[in-house]
């Protein structure tokens, strides 16, 4: 049973950070309160020092205000540290679910841009300790400065409030105009990245056949669309940042001018000193908004990343951990198995496949191209979920079986081999802790000792991305060794001899024969004649259906009998 535990995992992970952000807000109250220190210092200097000319008072006031600055910056440093700690906590909570969701999404869709997921994850994490978020948190504290300005004079307070209203409108317009541009830019960037990734996978073919220039032109079209939208977003954000900065500077001067008028009118308490204090406080009122607008992109990217990550986690839930199952014996049952790419597909790729294998039996599957053999192999190892029917291993649905638990008992060689960047040992041992006895055994089984000993680094030789440093035949043998490592109870091999020479094919046949005698169940998709003599049953597929199934000799006789009238007619 699959339970969507991921549907709320992102929200829950962020909610778990509320205690940290409560502390950020708590310390923010004091840091914003201490911002009034320069105004207080100015008042005291004007009120006490200028008229009294007492240098001792000036020294004490200066020492006090410097001490306040030290406390304020220390608290600010603590706040930034808490926000970074929040980002690290989020990383601990989400790294595994996001990796698993991206892994599952890529498994179901080869064109899925997994790199976009981790870019979104980075954007969300960076938003948590960005200056923009700190500015957003500090917006409520502008009430402190507004109240202080109103205490100085109501006219100054109303003027500052008007500037704040205009600043708020600028911030909202910035969000409304920039957000759509950034969304489109991100979509074009994703398309460009996905297209380049697809080109990169087929770089040799593109280069050899002179396709590079045409492909580059197509990629540049997608990249240019991204750059245009990003430039538009940056231009709009720059305009609003300029408006915000202009307003902040203008308001400071307007408050100063109005304060000067009030001083001349003799309606401002404490005279010129309060005029300057009001000007400083007015600038502080607009500072969080200016910071937010200037850094808006990090907030916008973080919010978009949150939406995409939340959707990904909901679409690819984590399987609920169930009761541990006993080790499989290799008994495989396929019941009315059908598979279609979509629910509304006209023709399913597979229809009504059914057979049963006992432990130690070998099934040979053959048939023309596009008959569904590779799709069937993926269903047999639980990579795809059947549209109808079941694949059962020891009576348990193999798709629902925890792959981490089942993995050691299952061997699989896909048609594309799919080696990973690492050493020969790491690939054969499936990137787990090497069992040297099992490693030595599988190397001897496939007679790889001589070749491995000829390598400068032996088993520690790095094979590169997808094993590009190896020949096709060597990649095939490493893939076979990985599939047979640890004597799994069931092994599915898709075209295991596609790149093998005659000697290697003999080794493969001997390995299958030996492991069969020890109870390993094999499903082999191949036209290899030698395997037919080891196979207990043979299946011929055509257009997603079973054309013939039975003992190899009976299946071949049946096919020959069916072909005889057609040859005579021809």
> What is the DSSP code string of 256-280?
HHHHHHHHHTT-STTTHHHHHHHHH
pLDDT for 67: 93
pLDDT at 127 over 50: yes
Q: How confident is the model at residue 3 (pLDDT cuts 50, 70, 90)?
A: very low
Average of per-residue pLDDT across 132-156? 86
Lowest mean pLDDT across 15-29, 165-179, 181-195, 487-501: 181-195
Q: List, as one string, the DSSP characters of 86-111.
A: HHHHHHHHHHHHHHHHHHHHHHH-TT
17 near 332, Cβ under 8 Å?
Answer: no
Average pLDDT of 112-132? 82
For the residues 22-39, what does the mean pLDDT come to? 86
* Average pLDDT over all residues of the chain: 84
Q: What is the per-residue pLDDT across 211-244, written as a single tens digit (0 to 9) for each? A: 777 877 887 888 888 888 878 888 887 888 888 8
Provide mean pLDDT across the span 268-291: 79
The CA distance from 512 to 509, in Å, is 5
**Highest mean pLDDT: which of 36-40, 88-92, 313-317, 377-381?**
377-381
Which range among 106-115, 272-281, 406-415 has the greatest average pLDDT? 406-415
**pLDDT higher than 60, residue 567:** no
7 pLDDT above the threshold of 70: no
**Which of 113-117, 158-162, 222-226, 415-419 has maximum average pLDDT?**
158-162
Q: Residue 497 to residues 235, 297, 317, 482, 486: CA-CA distances in angstroms?
A: 58, 53, 37, 15, 21
Which pLDDT value is given to residue 363?
94
pLDDT value, residue 1: 35
Contact at 8 Å (CB) between 461 and 423?
yes
pLDDT(282) > 90? no
Residue-wise pLDDT for 151-179, tens only, equals: 888 899 899 899 888 888 888 888 788 87
Give me the percent of the chain exceeding a pLDDT of 90. Answer: 24
Give me the torsion for CA of 105, 108, 110, 114, rounded to 10°: 0
For position 480, what pLDDT does the model report?
93
pLDDT interval class at 4 (50, 70, 90): very low
pLDDT of residue 51: 76
Report pLDDT for 126: 85
C-alpha atoms less than 13 angstroms from C-alpha of 197 in its C-beta half-sphere: 13
Range in 354-358, 462-466, 505-509 with the lowest mean pLDDT: 462-466
Q: What is the pLDDT of residue 201?
A: 65
Beta-carbon contacts of residue 425 (< 8 Å; ≥ 6 apart): 434, 439, 459, 460
pTM for this model (two decimals): 0.68
Please calculate the CA angle 541-369-468 and round it to the nearest 5 degrees.
125
Q: What pLDDT digit, counting tens, does each position of 515-565 carry?
A: 999 999 999 998 777 778 888 999 999 989 999 999 988 888 888 877 666
Tell me 48's DSSP state: I
pLDDT for 425 equals: 92
More confident residue, 157 or 319: 157
Determine the pLDDT at residue 200. 67
Lowest average pLDDT, out of 302-306, 355-359, 540-544, goes to 302-306
pLDDT in tens, 490-499: 999 999 988 8
| Confidence bin at 2 (pLDDT 50/70/90) | very low
pLDDT above 70 as % of the chain: 93
Q: Residue 438 has what pLDDT?
A: 93
Q: What CA–CA distance (Å, rounded) separates 354 from 351?
A: 9
């Amino acid at each position: 049973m699959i339970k969507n535990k991921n549907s709320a995992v992102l929200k829950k992970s962020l909610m778990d950070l509320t205690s940290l952000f409560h502390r950020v807000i708590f310390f923010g109250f004091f840091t914003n309160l201490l911002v009034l220190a320069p105004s207080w210092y100015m008042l005291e200097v004007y009120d006490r020092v200028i008229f009294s000319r007492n240098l001792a008072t000036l020294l004490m006031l200066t020492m006090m205000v410097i001490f306040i600055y030290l406390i304020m910056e220390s608290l600010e440093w603590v706040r930034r540290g808490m926000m970074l700690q929040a980002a690290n906590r989020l990383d601990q909570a989400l790294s595994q679910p996001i990796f698993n969701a991206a892994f599952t999404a890529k498994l179901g869709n080869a064109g899925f841009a997994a790199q976009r997921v981790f870019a979104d994850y980075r954007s969300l994490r960076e938003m948590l300790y960005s200056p923009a978020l700190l500015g957003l948190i500090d917006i409520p504290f502008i009430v402190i400065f507004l109240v202080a300005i109103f205490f100085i004079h109501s006219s100054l307070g109303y003027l500052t409030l008007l500037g704040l209203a205009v600043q708020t409108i600028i911030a909202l317009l910035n969000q409304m105009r920039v957000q759509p541009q950034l969304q489109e830019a991100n979509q074009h960037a994703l398309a460009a990245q996905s297209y380049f990734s697809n080109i990169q996978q087929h770089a040799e073919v593109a280069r050899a056949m002179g396709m590079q220039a045409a492909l580059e032109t197509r990629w540049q079209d997608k990249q240019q669309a991204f750059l245009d939208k990003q430039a538009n977003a940056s231009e709009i954000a720059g305009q609003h940042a300029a408006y915000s900065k202009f307003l902040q500077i203008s308001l400071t001067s307007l408050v100063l001018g109005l304060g000067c008028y009030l001083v001349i009118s003799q309606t401002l308490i404490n005279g010129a000193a309060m005029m300057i204090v009001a000007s400083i406080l007015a600038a502080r009122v607009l500072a969080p908004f200016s910071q937010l607008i200037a850094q808006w992109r990090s907030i916008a990217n973080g919010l978009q990343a949150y939406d995409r990550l939340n959707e990904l986690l909901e679409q690819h839930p984590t399987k609920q951990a169930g009761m541990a199952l006993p080790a499989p014996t290799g008994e495989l049952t396929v019941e009315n198995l059908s598979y279609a790419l979509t629910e509304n597909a006209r023709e399913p790729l597979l229809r009504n496949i059914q057979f049963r294998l006992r432990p130690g039996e070998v099934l040979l599957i053959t048939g023309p191209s596009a008959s569904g053999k590779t799709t069937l192999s993926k269903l047999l190892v639980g990579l795809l979920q059947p549209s109808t029917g079941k694949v059962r291993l020891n009576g348990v649905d193999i798709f629902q079986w925890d792959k981490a638990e089942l993995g050691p008992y299952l061997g699989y060689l896909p048609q594309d081999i799919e080696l990973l960047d690492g050493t020969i040992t790491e690939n054969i041992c499936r990137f787990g802790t090497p069992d040297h006895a099992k490693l030595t055994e599988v190397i001897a089984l496939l007679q790889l000792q001589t070749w491995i000993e000829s390598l400068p680094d032996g088993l520690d030789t790095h094979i590169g991305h997808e094993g590009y440093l190896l020949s096709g035949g060597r990649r095939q043998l490493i893939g076979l060794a990985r599939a047979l490592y640890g004597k799994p109870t069931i092994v599915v091999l898709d075209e295991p001899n596609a790149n093998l020479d005659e000697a290697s094919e003999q080794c493969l046949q001997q390995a299958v024969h030996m492991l069969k005698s020890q109870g390993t169940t094999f499903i082999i998709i191949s036209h290899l004649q030698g395997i037919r003599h080891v196979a207990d049953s043979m299946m011929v597929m055509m257009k997603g259906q079973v054309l013939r199934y039975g003992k190899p000799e009976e299946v071949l006789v049946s096919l020959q009998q069916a072909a005889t009238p057609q040859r005579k007619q021809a």
